[in-house]
Amino acid sequence: MLGIGKAKVYELIKSGQLPALKLGGLKVRKEAIDEFLDKYVS
């Protein structure tokens, strides 16, 4: 969805820019991705 690699996604999660849930693995809600895109992509 974001067009970036796994490593960059983990960086965004670790920095707090992209919220994720720990449910057996890291899960990112679609709403969180939409909010991230609205905030950081013009």
1 compared with 4, residue with greater pLDDT:
4
37 compared with 2, residue with greater pLDDT:
37
- Which pLDDT score is estimated for 3? 86
Report the 10 Å Cβ neighbour count for 28. Answer: 17
Give the contacts of 5 (CB within 8 A, at least 6 positions apart).
Answer: none
Q: Please give the model's pTM, rounded to 2 decimal places.
A: 0.74
Whether 41 shows a pLDDT value over 90: the answer reads no
Whether 42 shows a pLDDT value over 90: the answer reads no
